[in-house]
Amino acid sequence: MARGLDPLPAGLIVVGALTISGLVSRPYSPDPSHPRLRRWYKALDKPGVTPPDAAFGIMWPILLTGLGIGAWRLLRRDSTPARNAALGLAAATVGLVDGYAKITFGDRDLTAGTVESRALVGVALAYVTTASIVDRPAAALGLPLALWSGFGSWLTDELKQRNPRLDSGAAERLNAA
């Protein structure tokens, strides 16, 4: 059985992965530095429970940091099938967060974004379940991301329902019919 990593190498892996994730998803943020995306996002008919724009910029770094700390804890544990599966699910969760940004905002595809967000919730919950076998605090640190993603999935579906004209996925299907 392979021993877990020392704190510094484990930290470097997590910081590197989260930095790459931030760089990958940054071009798809509907903030003032991306005016075309922002105009599209601002034009969406949103439910009244949609958080203010600033909440997303605050919440995602916090949630991903929690997941990252959980991954750091897991990397420091001895290698076991459950630990390795939990780390794989943590990595998949981060990848799905990036994919959501690209699909939903970059491609403006609310239909595919709804499907992708449901996958994100499932993988994040699988991480929590699997990590709890190895390290309960690591699992608990991933739970807020899973819950926020569940809300985000519901919200994306609402946006899809309210905005068929601004959903490139719906437009493609209508043109193909």
| 11-26 tens-digit pLDDT | 999 999 999 999 999 9
Task: Dump pLDDT digits (tens) for 134-165.
Answer: 999 999 999 999 999 999 999 999 999 999 99
User: Tell me, what's the pLDDT at 1?
Assistant: 75
**What DSSP designation does 31 have?**
S
Averaged pLDDT score across all residues of the chain:
95
Q: What angle do CA 98, 158, 68 make, to 5 degrees?
A: 30
Q: Which two tokens stand for residue 140?
A: 């608990």
Alpha-carbon dihedral 115, 149, 137, 93, rounded to 10 degrees: 40
User: pTM to 2 decimals?
Assistant: 0.94
Task: Dump pLDDT digits (tens) for 28-50.
Answer: 999 999 999 999 999 999 999 99
